[in-house]
Structures are given as C-alpha cells and as structure tokens.
Amino acid sequence: ASTVAGAAGDTAGAGSAAKAQVYATSLMALKLDSNAETDYLKNLAKGLGLSDAERDALHVSMGVPPIKG
C-alpha cells in the first residue's frame, strides 16, 4: 500500500496525462494473473483519482482486458 500511496502522492498536482502515464507504466509491468496485482491497480487508480471508466479506457487502449468489479 505504501508503494501505491507514494506513486499516487507524487502525481497529486499533476495533470490527467501524467496520472494516466503512471497507471499505464504499472499496467505494462504486471501480468494481472493474481488478485494482488489486480488490487494494486485498483488502489493505484483510486489513489491517482482515476475513475473506473478512465482506468478501463487505459486498459482498452493498451489491449488489456478491463478489471472486473
């Protein structure tokens, strides 16, 4: 959780493009084959202030299935 808080906190004053880039970088690094990775991305998106729709749009744009739930 501290890693998520750190990444999200670093972008607190940044625009939406910077926040999307932080999220996309994490998404590229993960395989999403565990609940821990899915939970990490959910928490990261929330910490960055991304809506579920924005998060899902990033997934689609990168060819990765959206997170369910």
In the prediction, which pLDDT does 53 show? Answer: 96
pLDDT cut 90: percent of the chain above it:
74
- What number is the average pLDDT over the span 41-45? 97
SS percent in the chain: helix, strand, coil, step 5: 70, 0, 30
16 φ, ψ (degrees, to nearest 5) = -65, -30
pLDDT of res. 1:
46
* pLDDT band, residue 14 (cuts 50/70/90): confident
pTM: 0.78
